[in-house]
Amino acid sequence: MHIGGSRSVSLPVKIALITVGVATVSSCSSHKQVASGDADALAGRARQVAAAWDDSTAAAAWRAGYYPMGEEVQAPRGGWRSQADRQAYEQGDFTLRAQLPETRPKNGRVTWAGGESLTRPLVGADESYKALASGRVNGKSRLTVTSARLGKITLITSRGPATVSAWLFTMDGYASPLKQAAAIPSKPPRPPIGPAHGIPGFPINRLVRIAADGRSVTVVALHGVCKGESDVDVLETNGSVVLSDSVNDRKHGSNCTKQARLQQMTVTLGRPLRSRVLLDGYTGQPILYKGLRGLSQSGSG
């Protein structure tokens, strides 16, 4: 499938530093463009990853920690007043016209719907603001912060919805604040399995979205430009969901393995994700949420 608007990059690359067009496609658990030997290798690797994680101390640590799986920043109630304001937010185009709080509690609580809670250290208002205002300002900023205070935000985590300490930034022209989670996520556990060797394919770049019913996940993955129809394979167990980015279609020649593009793909699951660990079959690590901030979107699925 040709994905319009995607920009190619040479490999090897530092995936986290790429800014490219992201197109949306749907994906099923098939091997349409994968040679049978490569498909068997991918499937075998996914089984190894699932076996290593299921019932492991790493999985127990993951389920006991605080890992955001949804946006940690929430726009003012009612959303942005204009597309220009939305673009300013996405570009980090802010101006500070206030004295930010210099003190804060050292720790805050993350509380889940079932009553379970966890103590996590908090970032300061200054650090939180700098994370928002990370872009280059050209001329007068559209978004002006006039005050900040500590409050709460509700977001999606690996353990379901949670209420988290957050910095609430008041802005000119908005009746309600922009919220940014202040609790520092737990450090991911050390994977019980190392990365794959000798298996064609790429790591999953990031998690973008988990559907409200948990029956689908949207990820961004890296694919060769000569690859046929985009595909992410799925292996589900009681304890984990392993996603494997399918390999290049090599029939086009060796040059196709030297170029790649990021694509956004939605994968349907057999049952809700819930507390199962979402894993990358190539690296053997949990797939972390990063959203789409910093990636330009193009095309449609």
Look at 36-45, 88-97, 282-291 and tell me which has the smallest mean pLDDT.
36-45
Return the pLDDT at 231: 78
Nearest to 141 by CA among 181, 176, 169, 172: 172
- Tens of pLDDT, residue by residue over 47-80, are 999 999 999 999 999 999 999 999 999 999 999 9
Return the pLDDT at 148: 97
Burial-class residue 216 by CB neighbours within 10 Å (0-12, 13-18, 19+): middle
- Tens of pLDDT, residue by residue over 98-157, are 999 998 999 999 999 889 999 999 999 999 999 999 765 555 678 999 999 999 999 999
How far apart are alpha carbons 73 and 32 in whole angstroms?
38
Q: What is the DSSP letter of 69?
A: -
Give the end-to-end CA distance of the chain in Å, rounded to a whole number.
11
Return the pLDDT at 199: 84
What 3-state class would DSSP assign to 281? coil
Both structure tokens of 118:
């966890």
What amino acid occupies position 165?
S
- Tens of pLDDT, residue by residue over 235-258, are 999 999 999 987 555 444 444 545
Burial-class residue 34 by CB neighbours within 10 Å (0-12, 13-18, 19+): buried
Q: Are strands 240-245 and 277-280 parallel, antiparallel or unpaired?
A: parallel
Return the pLDDT at 14: 32
> Could you give all domains of the chain from N- to C-terminal order, each with its CATH number?
9-64+190-297 (no CATH), 73-181 (2.40.128)
Residues near 9 by Cβ (< 8 Å), separated by ≥ 6? 18, 20, 259, 260, 261
Rounded to 5°, the CA angle 137-262-227 comes to 155
Return the pLDDT at 248: 52
- Tens of pLDDT, residue by residue over 229-238, are 557 899 999 9
pLDDT, mean of residues 14-30: 41
**DSSP track, 95-111:** EE-S-------SEEEEE
How far apart are alpha carbons 80 and 178 in whole angstroms?
10
* pLDDT greater than 70 at residue 214: yes
